């Protein structure tokens, strides 16, 4: 069938003005996506068996809660970031800390504190390297932002996230830190290890057929927000990871790989009130002021809450 015929067919199926209230946006999107799908079936000469395989695949991915992971692995989430970067550049918004994807593993409701938090519950003491990370949240003019929210979450030494990994304690490695009067935050934690897609899961099964791995380099997630400013969704990477520039979710970015210092001197260990060597990362966040000519930086998305 010709593409023009497919378009006519799809409009006949989808568009029915006779009854009910129409959401024109939904209608527009469904007409477009159905037509694109039908054209792909035609062009690639997909068999009915192949089409049902696809539907069954998506059903299973949904039933096992892997559609968010699939969106990351297909580069869909990264693509949305690229488009948001373009929109912000067009609106004249530059100079902020680079954004990168949220991923599917945020959980709302983590404990909050001012200035400092310890993220880990101590259960991996002796396994993971101790980590201190600290910095300042600045506005677009380089002025520190007291009272900014730094939400942070990361994996444990096995690459797993609390809540999704039920063996971990409630909110392990998840906190909200409100910056102090100088706009500073600091946390103590353990150096995370990279994430790997569940080997038997729907996402990894597809990646296998594409000859791809499902690994992420070690990283730490952040939401940084302050009144009047655009919410920043980002991550930093742990430098030196073998997958640093080979992330299955395409989230590594220039400017988000701060140096990691490994500190072993007895004096500095004592200074920090700890009893063993530790890693230290300094990283400042720069938020852009809210601007109504740019699309909302706050993304509405169903998120877990505990």
List residues binding Fe ion (CB under 5 A).
Answer: 103
93 binds, among Fe ion, ligand MBD, none (CB under 5 to 8 A by kind): none
Which of 228, 284, 300, 299 has the alpha carbon at shortest distance from 96? 284
Instruction: Choose which of 249, 279, 287, 297 interacts with ligand MBD (CB under 6 A).
Output: 249
Q: How far apart are CA 288 and CA 232, in angstroms?
A: 9
Give the binding range for ligand MBD (CB under 6 A) out of 98-106, 119-127, 167-175, 288-296. Answer: 98-106
Residue 25's Cβ-count burial label (10 Å; 0-12, 13-18, 19+) is: exposed
Min CB(68)–ligand MBD separation in Å: 8
Min CB(72)–ligand MBD separation in Å: 4
Size of the site for ligand MBD (CB under 6 A): 10
Q: How far apart are CA 204 and CA 195, in angstroms?
A: 12
Q: Residues 62 to 81: which contact ligand MBD by CB under 6 A?
A: 69, 72
Min CB(54)–ligand MBD separation in Å: 22
Min CB(99)–ligand MBD separation in Å: 13
The 208-247 site mask, x for binding ligand MBD (CB under 6 A), equals --------x-------------------------------
Q: How far apart are CA 83 and CA 99, in angstroms?
A: 11
Structure tokens belonging to residue 220: 């730490």
Is 103 a binding residue for ligand MBD by CB under 6 A? The answer is yes
Which of 121, 119, 123 has the alpha carbon at shortest distance from 131? 119
Give the binding range for ligand MBD (CB under 6 A) out of 20-28, 35-43, 48-56, 103-111. Answer: 103-111
Q: How far apart are CA 287 and CA 275, in angstroms?
A: 35
Question: For residues 92 and 198, which CB has a smaller minimum distance to ligand MBD in the complex?
Answer: 198
**Residues 298, 118, 230, CA angle at the centre, nearest 5°?**
15
Question: For residues 1 and 108, which CB has a smaller minimum distance to ligand MBD in the complex?
Answer: 108
Location of structure tokens 């201190």? 132
Q: Residues 19 to 58: which contact ligand MBD by CB under 6 A?
A: none
User: Which residue sits closest to ligand MBD, CB atoms considered?
Assistant: 103
Q: How far apart are CA 225 and CA 232, in angstroms?
A: 6
Q: Are 263 and 115 within 8 A, CB to CB?
A: no
Distance of CA 251 to the CA centre of its chain: 8
């Amino acid at each position: 069938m010709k593409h023009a015929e497919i378009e006519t067919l799809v409009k006949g199926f989808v568009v029915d003005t006779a009854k009910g209230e129409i959401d024109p946006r939904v209608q527009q999107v469904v007409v477009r996506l159905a037509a694109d799908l039908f054209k792909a079936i035609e062009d690639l000469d997909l068999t009915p068996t192949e089409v049902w395989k696809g539907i069954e695949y998506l059903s299973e991915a949904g039933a096992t809660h892997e559609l968010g992971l699939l969106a990351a692995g297909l580069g869909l989430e990264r693509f949305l970031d690229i488009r948001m970067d373009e929109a912000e550049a067009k609106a004249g918004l530059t100079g902020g800390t680079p954004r990168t994807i949220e991923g599917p593993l945020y959980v709302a409701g983590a404990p909050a504190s001012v200035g400092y938090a310890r993220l880990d519950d101590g259960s991996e003491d002796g396994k993971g390297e101790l980590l201190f990370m600290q910095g300042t949240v600045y506005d677009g003019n380089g002025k520190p932002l007291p009272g900014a929210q730094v939400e942070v979450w990361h994996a444990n030494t096995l690459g797993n996230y609390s809540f999704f990994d039920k063996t971990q304690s409630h909110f392990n490695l998840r906190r909200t830190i409100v910056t102090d009067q100088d706009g500073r935050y600091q946390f103590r934690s353990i150096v995370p290890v990279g994430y790997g897609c569940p080997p038997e899961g729907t996402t990894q099964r597809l990646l296998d057929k594409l000859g791809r791995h499902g690994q992420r380099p070690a990283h730490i997630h952040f939401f940084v927000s302050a009144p009047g400013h655009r919410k920043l969704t980002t991550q930093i990477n742990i430098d030196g990871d073998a997958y640093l520039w080979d992330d299955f979710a395409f989230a590594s970015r220039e400017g988000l790989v701060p140096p990691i210092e490994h500190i072993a001197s007895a004096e500095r260990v004592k200074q920090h009130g700890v009893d063993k060597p530790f890693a230290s990362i300094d990283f400042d966040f720069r938020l852009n002021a809210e601007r109504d000519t740019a699309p909302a930086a706050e993304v509405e998305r169903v998120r877990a809450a505990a």
